[in-house]
Chains A and B, each alone.
Chain A
Amino acid sequence: MSSTANPVVPTSEAAVDQRILIERAQGGDHDAFATLAGESIARLDAAARLILRDSELARDAVQEALVRCWRDLPTLRDVERFDGWLHRLLVNACLDLIRRRRRRAVEVELTSILSPAASDFSGGVVERDLLDRALRALEPDWRALVVLHYYLGMPLPEVAASLGIPLGTAKSRLHRAIGLLRATVERGAAVDVVSVPEGRFA
């Protein structure tokens, strides 16, 4: 095995632009905040729906996160941590909602708010449905862990801090969550194969 050259990545201009917007919003510029919110709301809404499995609850969580973001933004000392901070506000809002509604049935079929035709996942609709089932089988805290790390791309130390758990626990839970997801998908795939008439594979 041979060594290879070290890849070089240029500095992101977008990060500088975002920093300017954040600093303006910290000074009370609501238009700057509206731009920041507009750039992030699709991502926040999708993450909240993945964690909460309910579009109305997701709307509540995103609203709570963005209102808190605007209110507390002047106290954010390190503007480079804006995205991580906003994701932390969102996941806290999601988990607060779950805790408040723990006794109510909030598990709603995610497929009811999605268009099946929208899928272009290489595995196709069957894999997406399997993943949907597997994700739904996880506890909300574990879903949040998976969504923060694999969907929002947060480094695991930040995920651990967001969820208020030790890094080691976050690692072990993520490992177990992936194992459970994989096992559920595998079980689902096996059931689907068995269900094909006359032993033919779909």
Chain B
Amino acid sequence: MTPIDRFERQLPMALTDLAVPQTPDYLTDILGQTARTRQRPAWASIERWLPMELVSKRATVARMPWRQLGVLALIALLLAAALAVFVGSQQRRLPPPFGRAANGSILYTMDGDIYAADPRTGASRAIVTGPERDEEPVYSRDGTRLLFGRTSSATPQRLLFVANADGSGIVQVTPEPLPGISSWSFSPDGRSIVAFASGDQGPIIVVIPSDGKTAPKAFPVFASSADGGDGPPMYRPDGSEIMFIGKDPGQLVRGVYALNATTGTVRTLVAPSTTNLDIHGASWSPDGKYVAYGVSNQGPEAVAPKTHVVGVDGSGDVVVDTEPVHVADFGFDWANDSTRLIITRWYTADGSNSRDAIVPIDRSSAGVEIACPPGAQGDDCTASWTFSPDDSMLLGSLGHADGTTAQFLGDPQTGQIRAAPWSGSGQPIWQRLAP
């Protein structure tokens, strides 16, 4: 292994070495200044107190009209029985785990709580609340459950929890904190969760049963970090394998690999290049027929990442975006019908002039560029976009420096966008319902 190969892994230590952290001699001066500075009163942030007031309200105790309540209870029991008979006679319809589905609620987080918004009315409601900090919720593929991370003062490291889609029935699924757990998602059948965690030699893949009763399994594969564009571990639509980006020991650059979580075996999907062409990020198409992945040149010459699409059998590898002017592109978010990808085009080498676009994977056109979202910095018009379950809309988010996230809805046919009537923090996600 050369010093260059070690570069990324050694970067934290190298930066520490370069900066030589030591206590500077000006701390006393700063403390003198802070001692003369008045603190802003806590009530200056009104929202800080809203939840406290809400939760501290006491129910008014009044004389109970027992007779009327008894009649109402009897009526309620009869209605419940009738409803149970009706529901029992109906078979619950669920969406397929992949492909188009109907649009359900949109999940997002705000101040450590999880909210669900109705995209038709714009109304939002909190579905998971409490003193803990809940974040990064995702829906199961059938839309019936959600998965989220939770930290608290007692457990500063993240634990994972699963709940029903309405926030009820919360179950802890990681019995102990897993260091560095991130990038989680459900398996297609919802029985398992896959995520990255930190291992001794780098990221590892963990598979966690979603019932909260069975111990997680850790697979110390040679995955590279989800940061830097490598993307999360991702189940194949048929649930048979988990795809990840990794650098096989002995290789100079990364490849795309698939882990069989039952047998623990790993196979190569896209072999690492024998030159400087490196791979970053990969995503199965929802129909399971293709893999989208990014390629860049890691040599001393210019780096120009481009998005490729290849058949799962390795055939038909193409650069997907035919737009001729842009210099680089990234992105692996598929339309549910597997015909289009959302990518980010860079028109300048530093990404300062960039646009998001929807491109057809058959390269039949240059696609549709998405309008620049309000609040974008300069000519950097990129946001995070996904398709709605029925592919008729786009859901976008743009983070602000204050930690909030502006959210947008868009039209994938025209690229026009509008502000969503809710805002929060983190990445919003759309629930799939039966068509």
Chains A and B form a bound pair: yes
Interface residues in chain A, defined as those with a beta carbon under 8 Å from any beta carbon in chain B: 1-9, 11-12, 15-16, 19, 26, 28, 30, 33-34, 37-38, 41-43, 45-47, 49-50, 59, 62-63, 66-67, 70-75, 77-81, 88, 92, 110, 114-115, 118-123, 127-128, 131-132, 135, 139, 142, 146-147, 149-151, 153, 155-157, 160-169, 171-176, 178-183, 185-187, 189-190
Knowing A42-B24, A123-B10, A172-B229 are in contact, say whether A151-B15 is a contact too (CB < 8 A). Answer: yes
Closest chain A CB from B334 CB (angstroms): 14
Contact between B217 and A3, CB atoms less than 8 A apart: yes
Which chain B residue shows the least CB distance to A123?
B3
Q: Which are the 7 A-B pairs with shortest beta-carbon distances? A: A46-B21, A46-B19, A164-B401, A75-B45, A175-B229, A1-B264, A70-B34
Which chain B residue shows the least CB distance to A121?
B17
Closest chain B CB from A103 CB (angstroms): 17
Which of A114, A121, A166, A173 interacts with B14 by CB under 8 Å?
A: A121
Which chain A residue shows the least CB distance to B198?
A7
Knowing A73-B39, A156-B227, A189-B3 are in contact, say whether A6-B178 is a contact too (CB < 8 A). Answer: yes
Determine the distance from Cα of A28 to Cα of B45 in the docked complex, in whole angstroms.
16
Which of A149, A157, A166 interacts with B383 by CB under 8 Å?
A: A166
Interface residues on B, range: 35 or more
Which of A34, A50, A66 interacts with B19 by CB under 8 Å?
A: A50
Closest chain B CB from A76 CB (angstroms): 8
Contact between B176 and A50, CB atoms less than 8 A apart: no
Knowing A74-B40, A80-B151, A189-B4 are in contact, say whether A166-B35 is a contact too (CB < 8 A). Answer: no
Closest chain B CB from A185 CB (angstroms): 6
Contact between B17 and A120, CB atoms less than 8 A apart: yes
Contact between B14 and A153, CB atoms less than 8 A apart: no
Closest chain A CB from B44 CB (angstroms): 5
- B337 lies within 8 A of chain A by Cβ: no
Contact between B305 and A175, CB atoms less than 8 A apart: yes
Contact between B380 and A71, CB atoms less than 8 A apart: no
Which chain B residue shows the least CB distance to A142?
B350
Which chain B residue shows the least CB distance to A190?
B300
Among the 9-residue stretches B55-63, B153-161, B318-326, the one with 4 or more Cβ atoms under 8 Å from chain A is: B153-161
Closest chain B CB from A66 CB (angstroms): 5
Contact between B21 and A42, CB atoms less than 8 A apart: yes
Chain B CB within 10 Å — which of A16, A33, A63, A150 has the most? A150
When distances are taken between beta carbons in the complex, the residues of chain A under 8 Å from B117 are none
15 CB < 8 A contacts A-B: A1-B219, A4-B219, A6-B178, A11-B177, A41-B23, A43-B21, A45-B23, A63-B29, A71-B34, A71-B40, A77-B45, A121-B13, A135-B18, A149-B227, A179-B296
Knowing A121-B13, A147-B15 are in contact, say whether A175-B48 is a contact too (CB < 8 A). Answer: no
Closest chain A CB from B197 CB (angstroms): 8
When distances are taken between beta carbons in the complex, the residues of chain A under 8 Å from B227 are 149, 156, 171, 174
Contact between A6 and B215, CB atoms less than 8 A apart: yes
Contact between B23 and A6, CB atoms less than 8 A apart: no
Contact between A151 and B12, CB atoms less than 8 A apart: yes
- B280 lies within 8 A of chain A by Cβ: yes
Which of B45, B215, B330 interacts with A172 by CB under 8 Å?
A: B330
Knowing A3-B219, A67-B30 are in contact, say whether A172-B8 is a contact too (CB < 8 A). Answer: no
Which of B33, B303, B405 interacts with A67 by CB under 8 Å?
A: B33
Which of B22, B31, B136, B228 interacts with A34 by CB under 8 Å?
A: B31
Contact between A11 and B155, CB atoms less than 8 A apart: yes
Determine the distance from Cα of A77 to Cα of B52 in the docked complex, in whole angstroms.
11
Which chain A residue shows the least CB distance to B221?
A1
**14 more A-B contacts (CB under 8 A) besides A1-B265, A3-B218, A171-B229?**
A5-B215, A33-B34, A62-B24, A123-B10, A135-B18, A151-B19, A165-B382, A168-B344, A169-B351, A169-B354, A171-B228, A172-B330, A178-B8, A178-B228
Contact between B176 and A9, CB atoms less than 8 A apart: yes
Knowing A15-B156, A45-B24, A162-B401 are in contact, say whether A1-B41 is a contact too (CB < 8 A). Answer: no
Closest chain A CB from B404 CB (angstroms): 8
Closest chain B CB from A21 CB (angstroms): 13
- B47 lies within 8 A of chain A by Cβ: yes
Determine the distance from Cα of A41 to Cα of B219 in the docked complex, in whole angstroms.
38
Determine the distance from Cα of A9 to Cα of B175 in the docked complex, in whole angstroms.
11
Contact between B377 and A165, CB atoms less than 8 A apart: yes
Closest chain B CB from A22 CB (angstroms): 10
Knowing A3-B218, A166-B384, A186-B4 are in contact, say whether A132-B398 is a contact too (CB < 8 A). Answer: no
When distances are taken between beta carbons in the complex, the residues of chain A under 8 Å from B380 are 165, 169
Contact between B216 and A6, CB atoms less than 8 A apart: yes
- B16 lies within 8 A of chain A by Cβ: yes
Which chain B residue shows the least CB distance to A138?
B350
Which of A11, A37, A115, A155 interacts with B31 by CB under 8 Å?
A: A37
Knowing A75-B42, A149-B227 are in contact, say whether A80-B305 is a contact too (CB < 8 A). Answer: no
When distances are taken between beta carbons in the complex, the residues of chain B under 8 Å from A122 are 6, 10
Contact between A127 and B401, CB atoms less than 8 A apart: no
Determine the distance from Cα of A167 to Cα of B183 in the docked complex, in whole angstroms.
12
Knowing A131-B14, A150-B15, A182-B4 are in contact, say whether A30-B34 is a contact too (CB < 8 A). Answer: yes
When distances are taken between beta carbons in the complex, the residues of chain A under 8 Å from B18 are 50, 110, 114, 128, 131-132, 135
Contact between B305 and A47, CB atoms less than 8 A apart: no
Which chain A residue shows the least CB distance to B403?
A161
Which of A41, A169, A175 interacts with B228 by CB under 8 Å?
A: A175
Chain A CB within 10 Å — which of B19, B152, B425 has the most? B19
Which of B305, B331, B382, B425 interacts with A176 by CB under 8 Å?
A: B305
Determine the distance from Cα of A83 to Cα of B260 in the docked complex, in whole angstroms.
38
When distances are taken between beta carbons in the complex, the residues of chain A under 8 Å from B401 are 88, 92, 161-164
